[in-house]
């Protein structure tokens, strides 16, 4: 097996270990990933900006520190990419939007600063759906960079809105990536691209410097090779931030032994698998694997009586249109790639304050009811989606894949979750396993996912694109 392929299968933690043990330098690793990121830029539409010069300067500094016996932590010297809605001094932050192609925001997002302090090396800004899909988009082409292509099959979509984060991670063009989720934007690309993506609890990670789509739903989280990677990345980026009053005041520490010796009671969310037999089979295999640790499973359903998805939809539309009001009322809205999105953003301005407040009021009651599930279960589990990656070429409405999805209630409630690879579907494209927990339960979620990844190798599998060079 080629040496490069061997390295590309590594988790971020393992790459950090190699740097610390002087088996590889951060500079050589950064050069290797930069080469692959260039392939991902043109082959996958996964990149907004490559930051080679600053990356190599940072990598050189990290190597110097290693030589001096200094080590900042598990991400020391590990190259990564950030979704292009996190601002970076001196580097364009385009929000995936043709209307913002020349935008440079003169501040570093808190997440960017924290990762630099942790020793990680930013090698690029990763492509995304324009404005993170605000106004709702109709096809994969809703991006400044074109449709986000899936490295497992270039005709298929990488998912959105963190398209580039999912695709670049799957293609081993970065050691790890940062994505964001308002409603599905981490879990969907994680499932489609076959990577591990953690949506943290609302408020766990500062959003200072992140584009606001929906103040009461936006979350920033890691996308990586393994669940354990997600844990150490979350530890680096989480915690209080004077620049963001919604950031939790309690720091997060990843504790890999959180569920050692514990037998969890896990609720299995119910789906109609009539047109998703392979997904059901793979899901049963996953439950069987987790059952070997002594965890028990029982059927779970979201409590009736609340229109969870409609509430989430109205709140996202109202806040998204408020966030971009000046832009929507300007001529620049015409520059967006997706006409449906242009119309949706303008339409959102017509939601009355009374209806928005009513939705938030009802949300509070809905969340209280949703949280009663935690009286019965430690965690919930389900396939992330009932479909493999859908086409990048055909408008979404013209595709009939059964979607499934568990995101509306969880995002409404601020719950954390992870999507990890659980095998492949009929078209040999990745499927995702989603583990959901109550607020602030990231350690439990991450450790259950890590147990699953101890027994499986799905997260180590690499797509055919790009081919490792000789």
Partner 1 sequence: MENEPVDPRVKILCTDHIFQNDNEMQELISAMLKNQDQLIKIIRDCNLTDGIGDPITHLSFEEGQ
Report, in Å, the least distance between residue 48 CB and partner 1: 26
Site membership for partner 1, residue 8 (CB under 8 A): no
Please give the residues from 38 up to 97 whose contact with partner 1 meets the rule CB under 8 A. none
Contact characters 356-395, partner 1, x per CB under 8 A: -xxxxxxxxx-x----------------------------
Judge contact between 324 and 345, C-beta under 8 A: yes
Please give the residues from 425 up to 454 whose contact with partner 1 meets the rule CB under 8 A. 439-440
Catalytic site includes residue 330:
no
Catalytic site includes residue 161:
yes
Of the candidates 255, 349, 461, 468, which one interacts with partner 1 according to CB under 8 A? 349
Judge contact between 191 and 430, C-beta under 8 A: yes
Site membership for partner 1, residue 420 (CB under 8 A): no
3-state helix, strand, coil in the chain (%, to 5): 40, 15, 45
Report, in Å, the least distance between residue 440 CB and partner 1: 5
Judge contact between 412 and 370, C-beta under 8 A: yes
Options 87, 97, 139, 161, the catalytic residue: 161
Catalytic site includes residue 163:
no
Q: Where are the alpha helices (DSSP H) in 21-148?
A: 26-43, 52-67, 110-117
Please give the residues from 309 up to 328 whose contact with partner 1 meets the rule CB under 8 A. 310-311, 313-314, 317
Torsion of the alpha carbons at 359, 361, 362 and 366, rounded to the nearest 10? 120
Please give the residues from 274 up to 303 whose contact with partner 1 meets the rule CB under 8 A. none
Options 26, 48, 143, 185, the catalytic residue: 185
Judge contact between 185 and 106, C-beta under 8 A: no
210 bridge partner residues: 86
Site membership for partner 1, residue 334 (CB under 8 A): yes
Comparison of 13 and 328: residue with beta carbon closer to partner 1? 328
Of the candidates 344, 405, 421, 466, which one interacts with partner 1 according to CB under 8 A? 344
Comparison of 344 and 430: residue with beta carbon closer to partner 1? 344
- Pair of tokens at residue 56: 């190599």
Judge contact between 174 and 189, C-beta under 8 A: no
Comparison of 344 and 463: residue with beta carbon closer to partner 1? 344
**Using only C-alpha atoms, what is the Rg of the chain?**
21
Residues 6+ apart with CB under 8 A from 3: none
Judge contact between 439 and 414, C-beta under 8 A: yes
Site membership for partner 1, residue 239 (CB under 8 A): no
Q: Is 213 helix (H, G, I), strand (E, B) or coil?
A: coil
Residues that bind partner 1 (CB under 8 A): 203, 216, 245-246, 248-250, 306-307, 310-311, 313-314, 317, 329-331, 333-334, 339-340, 342-344, 346-351, 355, 357-365, 367, 414, 439-440
Active site residues: 83, 161, 185
């Amino acid at each position: 097996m080629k040496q490069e392929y061997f390295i590309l299968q590594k988790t971020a933690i393992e790459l950090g270990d190699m740097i610390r043990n002087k088996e590889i330098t951060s500079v050589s690793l950064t050069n290797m990933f930069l080469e692959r990121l260039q392939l991902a830029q043109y082959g996958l539409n996964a990149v907004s900006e490559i930051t080679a010069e600053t990356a190599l300067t940072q990598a050189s500094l990290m190597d110097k520190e290693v030589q001096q016996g200094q080590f900042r932590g598990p991400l020391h010297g590990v190259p990564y990419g950030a979704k292009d809605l996190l601002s970076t001094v001196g580097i364009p932050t385009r929000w995936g939007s043709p209307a913002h192609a020349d935008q440079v925001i003169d501040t570093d997002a808190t997440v960017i600063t924290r990762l630099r302090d942790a020793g990680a090396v930013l090698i690029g800004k990763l492509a995304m759906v324009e404005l993170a899909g605000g106004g709702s988009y109709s096809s994969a082409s809703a991006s400044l960079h074109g449709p986000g292509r899936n490295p497992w099959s270039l005709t298929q979509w990488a998912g959105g809105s963190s398209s580039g984060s999912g695709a670049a991670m799957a293609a081993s063009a970065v050691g790890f990536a940062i994505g964001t989720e308002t409603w599905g934007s981490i879990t969907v690309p994680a499932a489609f691209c076959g990577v591990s993506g953690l949506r943290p609890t609302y408020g766990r990670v500062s959003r200072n410097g992140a584009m606001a789509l929906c103040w009461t739903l936006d979350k920033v989280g890691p996308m990586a090779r393994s669940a354990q990677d997600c844990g150490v990345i979350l530890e680096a980026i989480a915690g209080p931030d004077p620049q963001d009053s919604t950031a939790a005041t309690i720091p997060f520490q990843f504790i890999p032994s959180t569920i050692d010796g514990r037998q969890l009671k896990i609720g299995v969310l119910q789906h109609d698998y009539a047109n998703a037999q392979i997904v059901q089979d793979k899901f049963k295999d996953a439950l069987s694997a987790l059952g070997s640790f002594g965890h028990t499973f029982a059927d779970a359903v979201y409590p009736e009586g609340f229109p969870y998805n409609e509430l989430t939809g109205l709140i996202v539309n109202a806040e998204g249109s408020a966030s971009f009001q000046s832009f929507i009322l300007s001529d620049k809205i015409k520059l967006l790639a997706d006409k449906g999105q242009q119309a949706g953003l303008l339409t959102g301005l017509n939601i009355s304050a009374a209806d928005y407040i009513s939705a938030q009021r009802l949300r509070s009651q809905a969340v209280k009811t949703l949280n009663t599930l935690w009286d019965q279960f430690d965690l919930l589990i389900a396939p992330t989606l009932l479909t493999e990656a859908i086409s990048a070429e055909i408008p979404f409405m013209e595709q009939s894949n059964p979607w499934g999805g568990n995101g509306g209630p969880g995002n409404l409630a601020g719950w954390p979750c992870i999507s990890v690879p659980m095998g492949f579907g009929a078209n040999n494209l990745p499927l995702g396993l989603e583990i959901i927990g109550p607020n602030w339960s990231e350690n439990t979620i991450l450790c259950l996912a890590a147990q699953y990844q101890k027994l499986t190798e799905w997260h180590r599998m690499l797509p055919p694109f790009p081919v490792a060079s000789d």
